[in-house]
Amino acid sequence: MKPNTLLDLLGDHRVHSGESLAQQLGVSRTAVWKQIRKVVAEGIEVKTIRGQGYQLVTALDLLDQRKIVENLAKESAERVELVVLKEVDSTNAEVARKLLAPGSAMPVVLADAQTEGRGRRGRNWSSPKGQNLYMSMGLTLRGGFEGLSGLSLVLGVAVVRALNALGVTGAGLKWPNDLYAGGKKFGGILVEIQGELQEGQVQVIAGLGINVHMTEATDVDQPWTSLARYWPDHAWVRNELAASVINEVAAVMEQFENGGFSAFRDEWQGHDIFLGQPLSAKDGTLSGIGGGVDVGGNYQLDTATGRVSVMAGDISLRVSV
C-alpha cells in the first residue's frame, strides 16, 4: 500500500496550513486542496479553519503494510504473502481471485474498508473504513474435508492468543465461529471452501472480521461490541493487531495441519462461553447443558438422555431462556 502522506501529516490532529502541507508534500496548494477534498469524499472528516489551515477531525488508524511487516515474527514473515488494500468488495473474494498454488506462501489480504463484506449465512458484515480489521487468508488443509470442522475453532484460539500477546485477556469463544466479550460479539470467522486440489488437500479461505474502533453500526442485527469499547484502556492500533493475529494464525496452522484439532481442545474449552449454560439446538428440538467440544470440534450437549454432539454447520446453538 502506498504511504498516505497527506493523512500521515494530518494524523497528529494539529492544524496544518495549506502552505506547509504543500511544502512537505512537494506539491502546489491547489493540489493539497484537491487531496483534502478526496479524503473528505472517502468519509474522513477534515476541518478547514479560515486563515489557519486544515485539521483532521476523525481519529485515524490506517493500515500500513510496512508497519504490519515490522511487527511480524520472522517465521510468519517468511510464510505469508501480505496484501494491504484501501478498499475491496470482500477480502475473502480477493483471496479467492488469487491463484493459490500448493506449497506457495499463505496469501493474507487486509483492507481498510469492504464494500460487500460478508458474514455467515449470507449476512452482510459491517465494514466501515478505517475502523475494524477485515482480513482473509488462503489456507491449504492436508487433512481433507474432515479437518474443516476444527478450523474455525482453531482460528478462534489464534485470535484469543493474539489478544493475549497484546496484553488483553478475557475474550470468549462462541461455538463455532464467533468472538465474544462481555456477552456481545466483537468478531466472527467465515470459512469458505475454495476447492479440492487433489484427494486429501482442500483449499479454504478463512475470513476474520474484528470490530476494533467501531462505535456505531446501523446494519448489525445482534448485540455487538468492539475491542475499544470492551477494553478501552488498551491503545488499539490495527497494524499491531493485524500482525499479532497473523503471527498466531501462522503458528496454529502449522500445529493444526500436523495434529488436527485435538491439541487445541482444552485451550478452546477454556474460553467457551456456552460451558455449563442451558442451551437449545436444532430449532429448539434439542436442549441440554453446554458440555464443551469433542475432539472433532462438534459441540456437546448434556441432555436428559445423555451426551449428544451437535455438528458444526448451519445448526445454531442458543442459550435457552
Of all helices (H) and strands (E), which one includes residue 79?
Answer: helix 74-79
CA-derived radius of gyration, the chain: 22
Is the CB of 33 or the CB of 236 nearer to ligand BTN? 236
- Which residues are CB-neighbours of 268 under 8 A, at least 6 positions away? 153, 154, 156, 157, 173, 293
Of all helices (H) and strands (E), which one includes residue 237?
Answer: none
Q: Count residues contacting ligand BTN (CB under 6 A)?
A: 21
- Under rule CB under 6 A, residue 92 binds ligand BTN: yes
- Which residues are CB-neighbours of 38 under 8 A, at least 6 positions away? none
CB 197 within 8 A of CB 139: no
Catalytic residue among 79, 120, 161, 238: 120
Closest CB 94 distance from ligand BTN, rounded Å: 8
Of all helices (H) and strands (E), which one includes residue 217?
Answer: none
User: What is the C-alpha to C-alpha distance for residues 131 and 319, in angstroms, rounded to an integer?
Assistant: 30
Alpha-carbon separation of residue 152 from 142, 182, 261, 296 (angstroms): 16, 21, 10, 12
Closest CB 134 distance from ligand BTN, rounded Å: 4
Helices (H) and strands (E) in the chain, counts: 10, 14
Q: Which stretch binds ligand BTN (CB under 6 A): 25-33, 204-212, 281-289, 306-314?
A: 204-212
DSSP percent split of the chain into helix, strand, coil, nearest 5: 30, 30, 40
Is the CB of 125 or the CB of 175 nearer to ligand BTN? 125
Is the CB of 119 or the CB of 296 nearer to ligand BTN? 119
Residues 35, 76, 114, 247: which binds ligand BTN (CB under 6 A)?
114
- Under rule CB under 6 A, residue 86 binds ligand BTN: no
- Under rule CB under 6 A, residue 247 binds ligand BTN: no
Q: Verify whether residue 238 is a known catalytic residue.
A: no
* First and final C-alpha spacing in the chain: 48
Q: Verify whether residue 120 is a known catalytic residue.
A: yes
- Under rule CB under 6 A, residue 180 binds ligand BTN: no
Residues 188, 260, 288, 297: which binds ligand BTN (CB under 6 A)?
188
Instruction: Identify the residue whose cell numbers are 470467522.
Output: 189
Binding characters for ligand BTN, 207-246, by CB under 6 A (x = yes): xxx-------------------------------------
For ligand BTN, the binding residues in 115-144 under the rule CB under 6 A are 117-120, 123, 125, 134-136
Q: Verify whether residue 185 is a known catalytic residue.
A: yes
- Under rule CB under 6 A, residue 190 binds ligand BTN: yes
Q: Nearest-CB residue to ligand BTN? A: 188
Binding positions for ligand BTN, rule: CB under 6 A: 90-92, 114, 117-120, 123, 125, 134-136, 177-178, 188-190, 207-209
Catalytic positions, written as ranges: 120, 185, 318
